[in-house]
Amino acid sequence: MFKNITSNDKSLRPFKTYKQFTFNETDSGSGIYAIEAISGSTHGFLTGSALSQSYGIYNSISESYGKEPYSLGTFYKLPTYFSTKHLYYHYDNVPNRRSKNTRYPLYTAGNWTRKWPHGRPELNWGTINPRQLHNKANIISIPREFYGEEIKPGSVVLEDSSGDTTVELRDDRFGQLYDFNYSASFAAGTPGGSPLTGSVVGNVFYEHGIIAITDTGSLYNSCSLGIGGSQAGQYGSSDGFTLKFQATHTSYEYEYMCNTDKYEFNYTTNPSIIEGRSGSIKIPNNAQYIVNDDVLNPDYDSVMDLLLPASTSSYQMFYSPGTTYEAFTTHSEFGTYITNIGLYNDANELLAIGKLSNPVKNDKDLALTFAVRFDS
């Protein structure tokens, strides 16, 4: 008993789902790295003498073969600085070679036709503070496996206790980081009013999982790096940062309206309505069943009250369906009940099944509609 569902009775609705994550400076093993980016001359750059940060366990054998000696990798501060500048900051201050507008993101960082800030609505880009990058920045890199499609705008909270004062930075939903202790002055300036450039201490690039602290003031200079981090790339004490954010994932709600008109689906294939049906499964006396699910070395127990499957049985190899209905099927109140609704593809393969909480009588004089919804 099948019936086609028309296109008007199908709908697909996307919706965003979010998951909260919390990380700290000890989670480099999960791919959360706090990296210092420092400007300088690229002339004669050598990895052996360049400023860097290494994470993981040191392996002298790997180093002797000229391979990466640290299990989680080494990050060089000079290339990190210039890649960050090139991807996110340079083309906010000078024209992009691929556009006629001044403030466009670099086209190689994503869809270059979208206006700054990267990935944010075009409506807001003209009221946001211009991005500022000085001679250094502190970068927190988050793997895509944690932020999904993007970091949810407005969900970033970064607390740093590496200095004498605990600093709490938050994002403003438009890719800007501000000091929460000065949130009142920041809110008064952006967006929509005269930008208060000094209130912005960094940026969040939601689609790439990048957080950049660009303010070089003493209060923010070591944010996310920790004590001793500037020299060694590792935390020299228990003080560090705690990062909270929400990951974004797009889910889809499928809805199918399953309609039954009058006198539809009133027949049942249940064999109990047929007279004279036959066929049986016989469980003999003293039958046993396997209790350890080990066919090679089975342990047996006795069947109790015929409630347990028997190890030996007698099966009839035929079924006689009968030719007449039971008398109760002629009663005026007799009707079929709907308990499950299956959704099939064009090859009649079952794709999804919806179970009703209670059986619903399919009255022959009534049309019924069932809404089947599921998410993916």
Q: Is 300 inside a domain boundary? A: no
Q: Is 214 inside a domain boundary? A: yes
* Cα 130 versus chain centre, distance: 31
Q: Are strands 350-361 and 288-290 parallel, antiparallel or unpaired?
A: unpaired
Q: What is the pLDDT of residues 304-332, one digit of tens each?
A: 444 444 444 444 555 566 778 888 888 88
Whether the Cβ atoms of residue 104 and residue 91 lie closer than 8 Å to each other: yes
Helix (H) or strand (E) holding 242: strand 241-260
- The count of structural domains within the chain is 1
**Residue 293 Rama label (left phi>0; alpha psi -120 to 50; beta):** left
How far apart CA 173 and CA 185 sit, in angstroms, is 16
SS3 content of the chain, % helix, strand, coil (to 5): 20, 35, 50
Reported pTM: 0.68
Q: Is 266 inside a domain boundary? A: no
Supply the pLDDT for residue 7.
92
DSSP per residue, 100-163: SSSS---GGGS-TTSPSSTTS-GGGGGGSPPP---SEEEEEE--HHHHBT-BPTT--EEEE-SS
Q: For residue 200, which of 128, 125, 137, 139 has the smallest C-alpha distance?
A: 128
Q: Is 363 inside a domain boundary? A: no
Q: What is the pLDDT of residues 58-95, one digit of tens each?
A: 666 665 656 665 566 788 899 999 999 988 887 776 66
Q: Is 20 inside a domain boundary? A: yes
Confidence of residue 1 (pLDDT cuts 50, 70, 90): confident
Q: Is 256 inside a domain boundary? A: no
Supply the pLDDT for residue 185.
57
Supply the pLDDT for residue 224.
77
Q: What is the pLDDT of residues 111-168, one digit of tens each?
A: 444 434 444 445 444 446 678 899 999 999 999 999 999 999 999 999 988 767 788 9
Q: Is 304 inside a domain boundary? A: no
Q: What is the pLDDT of residues 258-315, one digit of tens each?
A: 999 998 888 777 777 887 665 555 555 565 555 566 666 666 555 444 444 444 444 4
The boundaries of the domain holding residue 139 are 14-251
Whether the Cβ atoms of residue 284 and residue 311 lie closer than 8 Å to each other: no
Whether the Cβ atoms of residue 251 and residue 14 lie closer than 8 Å to each other: yes
Q: Is 279 inside a domain boundary? A: no
Supply the pLDDT for residue 266.
82
Residue 287 CA: distances (Å) to CA of 83, 301, 315: 75, 9, 14
